[in-house]
Each structure stands twice: as C-alpha cells, then as structure tokens.
Structure 1
C-alpha cells in the first residue's frame, strides 16, 4: 500500500464525514489495508494529519510554480490560477483542503500550513509592478476560497470566471 493511497482514503473520510470520522481504523478500512499496514507508514493520527497537510502544501506550491512565468506580477497571477484550479477543477479540491485544515486544528499540526501561508502571502517578488495590488489579489483569492468552502453554491461558473478575469487584470502591469 502506497502512502498516497492512504492519504487519499483519509481525505475522503474527512471530506465526506468530517474530522470526527478520521480514525486510524477508519482510514485503514477505507484503504483496504490492515491497521498495521497503515501504522507502517503513519505511526499515529498526528503523523497522518501531518502527511495530509504536507501533501496539500506541496500540491499548491507545484500549481503556483507551474503557472509562474517569472515576469512582472506573475506570482500573483500564478496564485490566482492555482486557486481557481483548485476551486473549479473537477475534483473540487477545496473540500479536502477545508477538511485537512480542520483536522490540523492543533497548533503543532497546523504549523506547516501556517508557515506556507506566511510564505504565500509574504512580500511579493522583487520587480512586482504593484505589490499592494498583488497582496489584495492573493487575499481576495483566500477569501473566495473560504466562502466557497462554506457555501459552494454562492458563485456559479459565470461569476467565478468574471472574478478570475478581474483578479488577473489587477496583476498586470
């Protein structure tokens, strides 16, 4: 059994049933492995949550990097593109992000996510044409994420498309 399959099972439980459903036994059952098989990769529930948090951070970093061409304002544009990919993609990955964030409520478990958030929302790269606009765009993307996590029906595809276009416009020199 691969670690990613175990993380997939944990994410599914979190998304479908909430944090109370995240037990090692439930994850092992969902993944179709023995509890010992799970414990080999994740010796505790905390280790499992840390694995979930690390994976979503790595995935978001990879999405941002894939969209960042290094030009003026490109980091903010990449951040918007990555956010909308998660919010509107077929997998609707924002649901698992919300669930993982809830599971990592303990300050120690949330520390990597907090560090990533500080990095993502830190100072824009040198040469950004409008650092304040870049901050506003990233904060707006975060706010949209939060709203959609709690009320997915708030924005239809047309409204999301218009919002994405406007946010991207704000990042252009």
Structure 2
C-alpha cells in the first residue's frame, strides 16, 4: 500500500511538472492533475491539500537537484570569475527545464508563510554558493553582493520566460556581463 501511494504521489508530481511547463501556474489545477494521472479529483486531495502544497512538494523535491547542478558547475570552474559565470549560466540554462518551472512557481505567492520560509532558506543556500567566489574577488560585502547578483539572475529568468524579443542566449550573455563587469563597457 505504501509503495502504491508513493507511486501515485510521484505521478502527481510528474503531472504537476508537465502542467507547469506547458501552461505556467494557471495550468496547475486539481482537475488537470486528476485528468493527467487518471485519479478522481477527490483522490488528489488525499495527497495534497492545495495547489500551494503541490508547489511546495515540487520545490522540496526539485530544488536540491537544481542547486546541485549549479554547485557542480561552479566546482568545475577554475577561477572565482568562472565560478560566478557558471553560477549564472547554469541557472539560466535550467529555465527551460520542467523542474525549474516548479521552482519559479513559488513566486505565485499562494504559499503559506511556513512554506515560503522553507523555500527562502533553500534559495539562501543557492546564494551562499557564490559568496566564497565573491570573497576571493575581494568584495567588501560578499553576502549582499551575492543577493544582488541573484537579482540579476532572477530578472534574466523572467525575461527569458516572458519570451522577450532578445534570444535567450543574448539575455544570458548580458546577465553574465552585468554580474562580472557591472555597467562598465
């Protein structure tokens, strides 16, 4: 019985990833989850009490994998500058990934305070990865700089997801340039 519940939960999370990837947060509904998994709508509520609970479960499942990819890319980079570039490029490369849609869905604002705090803490762990590289570069306030750097990444993510006029690679290049060189030419 426990194995069956685990399989059903995984199927619901996979369906949620697909729905988010195809139509954003608006597409993530319990009727759509039920249809995708062949479950009755009432059965979906046995696994998740709300859409926010689905998003929280996706983030708990997918964020660590996503963060590990960023960390691995940074560890493979030979210099602090290359680590920062890897930090930016890897996150932006994940924009099209189904797992990324779940992580971005947290901005929908329908999570309760406890869930938001868990996700903020996980996000803080991602930002903490770049602090050491910034310290190596001699930044006076590496934590603050890391938070601002992440703001550039977040803005680039939104630009890519909105289907901006610029091609994604141009947005990525501009974001990397911004975090490494500021507004200097």
TM-score w.r.t. length of structure 1: 0.69
What corresponds to 1:86 in structure 2? 94
What corresponds to 2:3 in structure 1? none
Mark the runs of 5 or more structure 2 residues left unpaired by the alignment: 1-6
Residue by residue, what CA displacement relative to the aligned partner does 1:58-93 show, whole Å, maximum 9, x if unpaired? Answer: 232121122022754255333212212113x4x476
1:107 aligned to 2:118?
Answer: no
1:152 aligned to 2:181?
Answer: no
Higher relative contact order (CA 8 A, sep 6+): 1
- Point out the structure with the larger helix share: 2
DSSP-derived class of the 1:65 partner: helix
What corresponds to 1:125 in structure 2? 132
Cα gap change, 1:161 to 1:49, in 2 (>3 Å): closer
Aligned-residue Cα RMSD (Å) equals 3.5
DSSP-derived class of the 2:131 partner: coil
DSSP-derived class of the 1:125 partner: helix
How many residues get paired? 166
CA contact (8 A) 1:49 1:104 kept: no
1:57 aligned to 2:57?
Answer: no
Structure 1 segment 14-53 matched on structure 2, within 5 A: 14-17=20-23, 19=25, 21-35=27-41, 38=44, 42-45=47-50, 46-53=52-59
